[in-house]
Amino acid sequence: MKRRRRLHLKKGFYILVLVIVGIIVSTILYIKHNNYIHSNPYLLKQQGYNEKEINRVIGNNNIIKVLLSREYNPYLIDILESKYYIESNLDSYIKYKTKYPDKDYADVIAIINVTNGKDFYSNEKEVDMSKGDLILVNKFYHLSEDYEPEDLVNMEVKYATSNKKIRSHVYDAFKSLVSAAKRQGIKIYANTTYRTYKAQENAHMNARNQKGSAYADKYAARPGFSEHQTGLAIDVHTSLPNEEFVESETYKWLVENASTYGFILRYPKDKEYLTGFKFEPYHLRYVGVDVAKQIEKEGITFDEYYAYYVR
Ligand SMILES: [Zn+2]
């Protein structure tokens, strides 16, 4: 009798243990499943992203947040991972990349940041003068007809061809640059510096009268759209065509040293689609030493720098 009761108890105990284990296991499974369907990998998968894409972004919550807030797009991750990505441009990047799938991402980002996909001279705005030495004048931003810097100074013939003016602090920087070059046996002097709106108007008009407006737009900025009106730009003198000037000691010295004095080469080779200007190896723009160094280090145009860091 006693023995049977004990057996009964034992059986009941085992069943109880089994039930408890069962409850624990199913609770764990439930929690696991529940966690999974609320996890980023699951949600991304539901959104249409494949395993490879998911593994790429896992851990980067900023990117995941954007991916989950939008429809699946095959370009989105690359765009979001691009160095010069600007959030407010996201729709434009996608639109542009969809239209030109062969363009690489860095180009898509740069083009949209600078042009917003618009043609030169098609979307004109006034220059934001509050940016000081970092004002951007290009084929989207123009100066007003009556803008003339207040601190223009006359340049000595030692530093420029006759009757040239430039902003005072740019002159100081340029004089340091010229002296440093001279110590290396290189003679640099300015050829074109500050240019008035009126003078630019005449230059553009003459070019247009001679060879038509397409030619004029290629070789001369429209009035208001020339950086020379800022008093921050200097064309150094050269009598050589570009292909020969880039082989000269002067150009090589400028490439290596201009930033030390706060200047950048404003219109680099193969960047016409961003700057709007053909390669001008002689055109210097003053932006200050720190910015010049950074632009040099990052290998970007001032237009790109402005879009990402200044605007
Ligand atoms: Zn120039």
Dist. CA 283 → ligand 1 center (Å): 5
Dist. CA 234 → ligand 1 center (Å): 6
pLDDT band at 130 (very low <50, low <70, confident <90, very high): very high
Dist. CA 203 → ligand 1 center (Å): 13
Structure tokens at 264: 């950048």
Q: Indicate if the pLDDT at residue 236 is higher than 90.
A: yes
Dist. CA 302 → ligand 1 center (Å): 14
Statement: 125-310 belongs to CATH 3.30.1380.10? yes
* DSSP-assigned states of every residue in 112-141: HHHHTTPPTTSS-EE--GGGGGG---SSSE
Dist. CA 32 → ligand 1 center (Å): 66
User: For residues 62 and 66, what is the distance between their CA atoms, to the nearest angstrom?
Assistant: 7
Contact present, 205 and 222 (Cβ < 8 Å)? no
Question: What is the model's pLDDT at position 80?
Answer: 97
Question: What is the model's pLDDT at position 213?
Answer: 92
Percentages helix, strand, coil for the chain (3-state, rounded to 5) are 55, 10, 35
Dist. CA 235 → ligand 1 center (Å): 5
Dist. CA 232 → ligand 1 center (Å): 10
Q: How large is the average pLDDT for residues 262-277?
A: 96
User: For residues 185 and 281, what is the distance between their CA atoms, to the nearest angstrom?
Assistant: 20
Q: Indicate if the pLDDT at residue 9 is higher than 80.
A: no
User: For residues 149 and 100, what is the distance between their CA atoms, to the nearest angstrom?
Assistant: 41
Question: What is the model's pLDDT at position 207?
Answer: 94
> What residues have their beta carbon closer than 5 A to ion ligand 1?
235, 283
pLDDT digits (tens, 9 = 90+) for 13-32: 899 999 999 999 998 989 88
Residue with tokens 């689609």: 273
Q: Indicate if the pLDDT at residue 212 is higher than 70.
A: yes
Dist. CA 141 → ligand 1 center (Å): 16
Dist. CA 229 → ligand 1 center (Å): 10
Q: How large is the average pLDDT for residues 89-110?
A: 97
Question: What is the model's pLDDT at position 2?
Answer: 66
* 171 CB-near residues (< 8 Å, 6+ apart): 153, 155, 159
